[in-house]
A and B are shown apart, each in its own frame.
Chain A
Amino acid sequence: MDALIEKLKGQIIEQLNLAEVKPEEINPDSPLFGEGLGLDSIDALELIVLLEKHYGIKIQDPKDGKTIFQSLRTMAEYIKSQGKS
């Protein structure tokens, strides 16, 4: 799980062009949206594509992103649960 979280950090920074953010600054349990990293709804759509591109997971309803993208950990758990790590 930790390895997957570390991998995700790098992928998120790249996908969302978070040039100012260092991987070690992202807490796996802080919220990705609103506070924490301060991501927004456009980023959520970017993360959906990230899951499709890197993990072959297709999300059809953007509303599902709300629970999956709560934090890095929930994201990693979701990937695991889909058997795609």
Chain B
Amino acid sequence: MGETARHYYLRKHNLAKAYINGTGCISPQNSIDSDWFFDEVHSPKGDYFEAIEPSYKDFIAPNLLRRMGRAIKMGVAAGNIAIQQAGVKNVDAIVTGTGLGCFEDSERFLLAILDNDEQFLTPTSFIQSTHNTVGSQIALIMKCHDYNFTYVHRGFSFESTVQDALMLFDEGKDTILVGGIEEHTPNYILLNRKANKFQVREPDMPIWMSEKRGIQMSEGAAFFVLSRNKTQSSLACINGIQTLYKPKNSEDILKKLHMFLSSHRLTLSDMDVALMGFSGDLIFDEKLKSLLPEIEKETTAGAFKNVCGEYHTATAFAMWTATKIIERQQLPKVLAISAKLPSKIKYVLIINQYLDINYSFTLVSQC
């Protein structure tokens, strides 16, 4: 890091935090139920992990619902739940992240073009295929005229929303809705299976010890109402987030992690839990595997993709999990890698990797 960057980097860090005041989470688990806390954990059927979807009529008006693909429904419903929990009427910004966007509508329009030789096409699926549809639809429903961004960068899609929210708080915004959304279609799953991207996991083999290639792809949506200042409904706090693009090796990751934590005047031993993004793929997980002993020396390591599967915005599920862990002051057994469980949980660190390309650190704390 050069002098210029270091100067600003150090100066920055007494800056904005984000308080989490409401969450909504649709995942392959029963996370839509606010009382669910990893008590009953579903296993994937085969190599794909489908989201458990709610009855959308409870969250979305029928005249809107008739046009929406699954990603939009999942996103709008999860956003709605988060907003209700936070008890806010409006927000100052809506920032969403999605790796693939509204793939169902994209595919529907594409197939219509290919099947009918570009004739008799209707606009609805084209309109809904746009990546920013979820954020726009929420803005339309809430009549929110403020800032509205959608990030679409692979394993950084959700991280970018949080990064942006932290800057927006610095710039004076008070309440922000952020969320990550991912959906897949039967065709997309079939093609990825054909390309040998999946694995069927052996039930007794922990995800962090897997010696096979392939991930267990899945989908879901997790939304968060964030605020600059602590409120009565604050559940937890996001202290910071950082992304790493193609780190060279696990030493490189560890060095950057130490820098990240020290910029918050913390060390690894201050962490009570470190949730790590093991995906079950031997190659993609290699760096995290080398990192694991270093992490376990200082804190309790955990996993989360054995519960939510792998997708571009899986970190959104991890952040929802971190919030719950802090709320309940308990690391669920199913997530624990280390044998020793923490008794008191102040800091939860999320260390994610996506396809060994996109890495990120997210620090969530008790507030």
Contacts of B63 in A (CB 8 A): 38
Query: Which chain B residue has the least Cβ–Cβ distance from A19?
Result: B66
**A16→B67 CA distance, assembly (Å):** 8
Docked-complex contact A42 and B66, CB < 8 angstroms: no
**Shortest Cβ-Cβ A-B pairs, 8 listed:** A17-B66, A53-B120, A49-B122, A20-B62, A46-B122, A45-B123, A49-B120, A42-B123
Q: 20 new A-B pairs (CB below 8 Å) besides A45-B123, A46-B122? A: A15-B122, A16-B66, A17-B66, A17-B67, A18-B66, A19-B62, A19-B66, A20-B62, A20-B66, A38-B63, A42-B67, A42-B123, A42-B124, A42-B127, A45-B122, A46-B123, A46-B124, A49-B122, A52-B120, A53-B120
| B121 interface contact, C-beta 8 A | yes
**A20→B61 CA distance, assembly (Å):** 11
Name the interface residues of B95-128: CB closer than 8 Å to any CB of A. 120-124, 127
Contacts of A16 in B (CB 8 A): 66
Contacts of B62 in A (CB 8 A): 19-20
Contacts of A38 in B (CB 8 A): 63
Contacts of A15 in B (CB 8 A): 122
Interface size on A, residues (CB 8 A): 13
10 contacts between A and B (CB under 8 A): A18-B66, A20-B66, A42-B67, A42-B124, A45-B123, A46-B123, A46-B124, A49-B120, A49-B122, A52-B120
Interface range on chain B (Cβ under 8 Å from partner): 10 to 19
Name the interface residues of B42-71: CB closer than 8 Å to any CB of A. 62-63, 66-67
* B288 smallest CB distance to A (angstroms): 44
Name the interface residues of A1-48: CB closer than 8 Å to any CB of B. 15-20, 38, 42, 45-46
**A18→B124 CA distance, assembly (Å):** 13
Query: Which chain A residue has the least Cβ–Cβ distance from B121?
Result: A49
* A43 smallest CB distance to B (angstroms): 9
A residues contacting B by CB (< 8 A) are 15-20, 38, 42, 45-46, 49, 52-53
* B17 smallest CB distance to A (angstroms): 41
Contacts of A20 in B (CB 8 A): 62, 66
**A42→B121 CA distance, assembly (Å):** 13
Query: Which chain A residue has the least Cβ–Cβ distance from B123?
Result: A45
Contacts of B67 in A (CB 8 A): 17, 42
Contacts of A46 in B (CB 8 A): 122-124
Query: Which chain A residue has the least Cβ–Cβ distance from B62?
Result: A20
* A20 smallest CB distance to B (angstroms): 5
* B125 smallest CB distance to A (angstroms): 11
**A9→B137 CA distance, assembly (Å):** 28
* B150 smallest CB distance to A (angstroms): 20
* A56 smallest CB distance to B (angstroms): 11
Contacts of A18 in B (CB 8 A): 66
Interface string of B145-180 (1 = CB under 8 A from A): 000000000000000000000000000000000000
Query: Which chain B residue has the least Cβ–Cβ distance from A44?
Result: B123
Contacts of A17 in B (CB 8 A): 66-67
**A42→B63 CA distance, assembly (Å):** 12
**A52→B120 CA distance, assembly (Å):** 7
Max chain A CB contacts within 10 Å: which of B63, B120, B122, B123? B122
* A62 smallest CB distance to B (angstroms): 11
Contacts of A19 in B (CB 8 A): 62, 66
Contacts of B124 in A (CB 8 A): 42, 46
* B119 smallest CB distance to A (angstroms): 8
**A52→B121 CA distance, assembly (Å):** 10
**A41→B127 CA distance, assembly (Å):** 12
Contacts of B66 in A (CB 8 A): 16-20
**A16→B127 CA distance, assembly (Å):** 14
Query: Which chain A residue has the least Cβ–Cβ distance from B68?
Result: A17
**A84→B62 CA distance, assembly (Å):** 33
* A73 smallest CB distance to B (angstroms): 23
Query: Which chain B residue has the least Cβ–Cβ distance from A16?
Result: B66
**A15→B63 CA distance, assembly (Å):** 14
